[in-house]
Amino acid sequence: MAIPSLVVTPKTAVAAASFLAILLLEGWRPLFPLKKDRWHHLARNATITVIASVVVYLLFSSVKLLVEAQVRANGWGLLGMIPLTGLLRTTVVVVLFDAWMYLWHRMNHRIRILWRFHRIHHTDDAMDVSTAWRFHPGELVLSAAAGLFIIALFGLTLQDLLVYETLMLPVIYLHHSDFYLPGRVDRLLRTVLVTPWMHWVHHSNKGRELNSNYGSILSVWDRIGGSFRLRDDPDAIVYGVKGFEDEGWQTVVGMLRTPLA
């Protein structure tokens, strides 16, 4: 569950360019043409991600550096046992970390305490590209803590994480977007990638659909895990979480209070 960095790096340049491109595409050809004020919606989701970003940075920036330094110094992790370089290492890192992201996302739906934090991502009843930012600080703290173990287990470097997140952000911006991607294009893309037609279903307020399509980059994990689902009428999907329909849950204060409900 990556969050936008406050430092200008190749990752943030790619993230900013892809976010703006998708924002324009949503305005040109939205799935749901009649929506609430998209700029007000974006501002709320941007505010929650700034809060979460600051919290995670303050708590974990130094710890992550320390764990990564120990990985380098001691050769910790699975990747340290195999001499991988270049494109081969990048491919292995992306596959391994994306498998972890699938499992973590699925856990966030199945474990009650994790779901309490994760559900603010799903209470968004007007999903668009800014929904990719909408995560509770508590969820990102838990995700970052679990991520430290994964860094040590796999033997990941900060460069590995940077490469993964640079690839992931454009994909998650696209599949959260309100841009109506033609079905035939989506069908081609989802042979490899998680696509809007998949992720729209994941944000449905119906339990069976909500508990499906957990992938971040690669669609293969949902096929392997039996959690792959599609609908042929995406424009009929109702977003949100039942019991959180009141507009108060869409405010920044409401989002922060959601785990306590």
Provide the pLDDT for residue 45: 97
CB 175 within 8 A of CB 189: no
Helix (H) or strand (E) run with residue 40 in it: helix 38-74
Per-residue pLDDT of the chain (261 residues; tens, 9 = 90+): 444 444 568 888 999 999 999 999 999 999 998 666 889 999 999 999 999 999 999 999 999 999 989 988 888 888 888 888 889 999 999 999 999 999 999 999 999 999 999 999 999 999 999 999 999 999 999 999 999 999 999 999 999 999 999 999 999 999 999 999 999 999 999 999 999 999 999 999 999 999 999 999 999 999 999 999 999 999 999 999 999 999 999 999 999 999 999
Q: Mutual orientation of helices 10-28 and 158-176 as an angle, nearest 10°? A: 0
The DSSP bridge partners found for residue 218 are: 193
CA atoms lying within 13 Å on the CB side of residue 176? 28
DSSP state of 82: S
The DSSP bridge partners found for residue 173 are: none
- The pTM for the full model equals 0.93
DSSP state of 246: S
Provide the pLDDT for residue 112: 97
CB 70 within 8 A of CB 152: yes
Domain residue extents for the chain: 10-260
User: How far, in Å, CA of 26 to CA of 227, rounded?
Assistant: 27
User: How far, in Å, CA of 78 to CA of 134, rounded?
Assistant: 32
